[in-house]
Structure 1
Amino acid sequence: MHFALPALLLAFAPAVISQPSRPNKPITLSHSGGFQIGGKIINSPFNQNATLSCDHGYMEYFIPWRPRRTSIVMWHSSSTQVWQNRWDGGEGYKDKFLRRNYPVYLWDGPRVGRANWACEPTIYTPNYQDQSNFVAWNFGPRWPLWWDDVQFPTRDTAAWQQATSARYVEYDTKANVDLQSDAAAVAADSGKVGKDIVYLTNSAGGLRAMVTATKANGTNIKGIVTYESIGYVFPDNINVTASLGGFGPYVVPLERFKKLAKLTAIQFVWGDHRPENHTSVIESRLVAKLINQYGGNAKVLKLGDDAGLKGSTHIPFADLDNEEVAGLLDDVLGDNGLDEYEDGDDWN
């Protein structure tokens, strides 16, 4: 059963953001800020004394007054907005996990968002894809029909406008996967993001985080939780053809792939409207099996079949039931010893 997007939804409407109810526990920060990391310095071809610092990543951070040891790095594939609010403007993952006392980092990879200073010319060409995004983000089977159980405020015109306009330019190429994962690996190895990092990713960000884990030299990356990851890393000892696109398959030497098996936990999360025969779901199960074959701890979670959550979109952590989705992340962190406090005490 589906229902049509109201005609009113197609007209621009002033934003009405829902006001959160008074939280039981305030968010108390020790400090917050941001920094650039990675990238390079290049010389002008016309003047060797003129330089450009470019292709860096940008990390914004929020550190609780009494933090847990695990740093949560939120890696988007559209804009940081998806981590900041629920679809209706309610509390997003950023505040939910700050309230749980996790240090939270919002990551913009090179050439994206606040890190868009590129080392080479880039061209922006408008791509009229609001309607195709509606389907890609699993709001419904086709524009303008919503899934009848979708976890989105379907009658809120402002919510739709917020969702479809909160975008950065994406560069869906293998070269960009390498560019972003190179910078992220530098960030992970630097220690500036902590010594116990868990990446939360969405869509194409999942591939980039997995590649990052195979490139990092240290052991600071402890886990990856991907929400509807489009694209996967494979070892070079199986029959998989690498792609030059930004959605994989991305093939690495076996020894690099085995780094994924050394992580404390990996979880690939899917909503209930993503069928088992979807290419990326199939790939996630295969990659989990390969990781576990080398002693890893990788699992696939179907929000519908395994957790009873219905109507999930492509971005379930922004859905109306995101508190329930966050509870499943609590389980992953707790079950794998990634929820401890820096001072070793468990009081909240």
Structure 2
Amino acid sequence: MNINRTLMTTVIAMTTFVTGCAIQPNSSGNASAPLVIQAQGSFAVGGAVLKAPGNYDNNKPTTAGQSFHGDHLYAFYQVPLHPKPLPIVMLHGAFQSARSWETTSDGREGFQTLFLRRGFPVYLVDQPRRGRAGNSTVAASVAPAPNDQLFFDQFRIGKWPRYFDNVQFDRKPETLDQFFRSVTPNTGPYDADVISDAMAALFTKTGPAILFTHSQGGGPGWLTAIKTPNVKAIIAFEPGSGFIFPQGELPPAMPSTAGPLAPEAVSTEDFEKLTRIPIAIYYGDNFPTEPTAERGQDNWRVRLAMARIWVDAVNKHGGDARLVHLPELGIHGNTHFIMSDLNNVQIADLVSSFLIQKKLD
């Protein structure tokens, strides 16, 4: 790795306080020892610098002659003792931040810690124009629009106000409160190229690494692998954006109650860069495979269907992609946030098995 590491070893005692209650992340049985970190830190990477014409006057400051740094991403990293060769970079989805991968809403260890315990250096990303990378070079307004119930439905916790019977989500009110408070607005327009440019710069800094993506992060994830050879595998959890196909091989757009899902075109040369790495896609439970009038349900029906076509296209071009629909494995109740559900250790085990099989562990 190319990050300058500190020589001090930090032992992290993982006791978290959530809504006034002490929560023990080790209570799930997925960890039994202190988490030992040999290095950790954070930085910004990528982005642009805008410069206003004119001369800066400290006594009469205006925008004239000043610069503005924006559209970078924020990365926080931790390196365990005796790290495995390839780090894991984790990119969040829409209305989220790096918190998606951290402590779960009910206080258990998230994928950040689970994979640190498995020996991987882990990089968590706040994408450009989100969270701790909020400086956007393009203006946008952020309004306090009520949307909690929409997210409850859209992210498949249930159909408001009822939870799905088998849902892998803790039903305590404080857990739902924590989940709603993870929602993070855009501070500028979503732009997959801006995000993937910054992600490619991050992979230049980390060197070869594995990319985990979630939801809207799926599209920028494919583009990142096109823009840098340092992406050595992609694990995509319920990709919901940017299904790219070679020019001239686009499948028809898929209509749904949530609006049409249209494929996006790239050159055959760029698309075939995705055939050089192993890719695994995971989708959860509680949505139909046939059209429905329910918006939150139909949204995921078409994304699963498009993902199947996408995997076939990658493999048709000689790639190594697979799609795992968890109910087909007998794993039920997973929400859109597979990596933080009550069975996230089981999901992490599936991912670890894939990485071992591909000799990336």
Asked if residue 120 in structure 1 is aligned to residue 120 in structure 2, the reply is no
Deviation at 1:237, TM superposition (A): 2.0
Shift of 1:290: 0.7
1:172: Cα distance to partner?
9.4
Corresponding position of 2:339: 317
Say yes or no: does 1:72 pair with 2:88. Answer: yes
* CA distance in 1: counterparts of 2:317 and 2:251, whole angstroms: 18
Check conservation: 1:180, 1:208, Cα contact below 8 A: yes
Displacement after TM superposition at 1:206 (Å): 1.0
1:130 aligns with 2:148: yes
Matches within 5 A, 1:181-260: 181-188=196-203, 190=204, 192-195=205-208, 197-216=209-228, 219-231=229-241, 232-240=243-251, 249-260=263-274
- Relative distance call for 1:251 and 1:94 in structure 2 (3 A) is same
Corresponding residue of 2:284: 271
**CA RMSD in angstroms, aligned pairs only:** 2.3
1:16 match: 21
Question: Structure 1 stretch 248-257 or stretch 107-116: which is displaced more?
Answer: 248-257
Greater relative contact order structure (CA < 8 Å, 6+ sep): 1
Matching residue within 31, 41, 59 for 1:33: 41
Could you list the per-position Cα deviations for residues 164-196 of structure 1 after superposition, in whole angstroms to 9, with x for gaps in the alignment?
1112113796x61111111111222x2x2232x
3-state DSSP of counterpart to 2:196: helix
The residue type paired with residue 224 of structure 2 is T
Change in Cα spacing, 1:49 to 1:68, as seen in structure 2 (3 Å) is: same
Contact map agreement 2:250 2:264 (CA 8 A) in 1: no
State the alpha-carbon separation in 1 of the partners of residues 25 and 249 from structure 2: 49
The answer as to whether partners of 1:68 and 1:103 remain within 8 angstroms in 2 is yes
| Equivalent residue, structure 2, for 1:6 | none
Letter in 2 for 1:284: A
CA deviations on 1:23-77 (whole Å, 9 max, x unpaired) are 3343221200011111111111454632112111111110112100121111111
1:36/1:59 contact within 8 Å kept: yes
1:169 aligns with 2:190: no
Structure 1 spans left out of the alignment, 5+ residues = 1-12, 340-348
Which one-letter code corresponds to 2:113 in the other structure?
Answer: D
Map of 1:285 onto structure 2: 308
Partner of 1:104: 122
Letter matched to residue 296 of structure 1: G
DSSP 3-state at the match of 1:198: strand
Shift of 1:241: 7.2
Q: Which amino acid aligns with 1:179?
A: V
Partner amino acid, structure 1, of 2:111 = Y
Matching residue of 2:15: none
> Which residue of structure 1 aligns with residue 100 of structure 2?
82
TM-score normalised to structure 1 length: 0.85
Equivalents in 1 of 2:76, 2:142: separation in Å? 25
Map of 1:42 onto structure 2: 50
Gap change, CA 1:248 and 1:214, over 3 Å in 2: farther
In structure 2, distance between residues paired with 1:17 and 1:208: 37
* Amino acid in structure 2 at the alignment position of 1:41: V
Structure 2: runs of 5 or more not aligned: 1-17, 56-63, 291-300
Amino acid at match of 2:341: D
Deviating runs (4+, > 6 A) in structure 1? Answer: none
User: Which residue of the partner structure matches residue 110 of structure 2?
Assistant: 92
SS of 1:35's equivalent? strand
Report the counterpart of residue 53 of structure 1 in structure 2: 69
CA contact (8 A) 1:26 1:99 kept: no
Amino acid at match of 2:40: S
Q: Deviations over 1:126-164 (max 9, x none)?
A: 221100100111111x2111100101111x111001001
CA contact (8 A) 2:245 2:271 kept: yes
What is the rounded CA distance, in whole Å, between the counterparts of 1:104 and 1:81 in structure 2? 13
Residues 17 and 88, structure 1, Cα contact 8 Å, conserved in 2: no
Work out the CA distance in 1 between the residues paired with 2:276 and 2:358: 13
* Aligned equivalents of 2:115, 2:102: Cα separation in 1: 11
Change (3 A) 1:172 1:40: closer
Distance change >3 Å, CA 169–CA 241, structure 1 → 2: farther
Give percent identity, aligned residues only.
32
Does the CA contact (< 8 Å) of 1:74 and 1:83 recur in 2? yes
Summarize deviations over 1:284-325 as a string: whole Å, max 9, x none: 11111111111111000011112x211101001101111101
